[in-house]
Amino acid sequence: MKILLVDDDLDMLAVTAFALQQAGMLVVKASNYNTALQVFQSERPDLAILDINIPGGSGFELCQALRRESQLPILMLTVRNEEADLVRALELSADDYLTKPFSPRTLIARVRALLRRAGTGSSTSTHELAGFRLDSTSLELTVGVQVHRVTPLEARLLQLLIAQAGQTVATERLLTHVWGRRGGGDRQLLKQLVHRLRQKLGPGAAGLPHVETVPGAGYRLI
């Protein structure tokens, strides 16, 4: 599942994104109205989490803009606990509402419930591409008829590459997704992780996918 997370509090944005990533979800982030729209158009997420107070336009306006183009589930966040905000969010066709501060477990439970109601939650932990299947809950990678065990870091790396299959994913984005904004990842560790994945995916023969290095940019799943 790909989640659009919008919040102008960069620390909260990083912490919330990491919690969602640890739960096996892909996260694309924005901290203002215009960037959020651009990310939505390019990434086409399965669910959006929108803070009400963001620069360039309110979360309410962003909710309206997204709803004009998509029926994806929308969860609104706010530091205020006012009935008027709740009513307005629901009138704008938001699907749920959560008041800060909240626990990561509560947020993840709400997100999963929204995905289930939308009929997309069952595939949260399963990611497939022609030739292989990744289950990020059981940490199993099936390539043809072979089943390999993968580490949580390998699973998170492959998740993002699958979601952006055929496109170059920047090194910095991979580092953030795998280790978190404040994690211990670096480029050398990422190279080692890619090397281990290549061994498990095989040489890419007979149409099976493989991970390609894009010099000076990042990696791409072909």
pLDDT in tens, 112-157: 888 887 765 544 467 777 778 888 777 888 887 888 888 878 888 8
Overall CATH class of domain 2-122 = alpha beta
Domain ranges of the chain: 2-122, 126-221
Spatial CA neighbour of 209 closest among 197, 195, 221: 221
Pairing of strands 146-149, 168-170: unpaired
Q: Per-residue pLDDT tens for 178-221?
A: 876 555 567 888 888 898 888 888 765 555 678 899 999 999 98
Assign domain 126-221 one CATH number from 3.40.50.150, 1.10.10.10, 3.50.50.60, 3.10.180.10. 1.10.10.10
Task: Please name the residues in contact with 112: beta carbons below 8 A apart, sequence gap of 6 or more.
Answer: 121, 124
Mean pLDDT of the chain: 84
Q: Name the amino acid, one letter, at 87.
A: V
> Model's pTM, two decimal places?
0.63
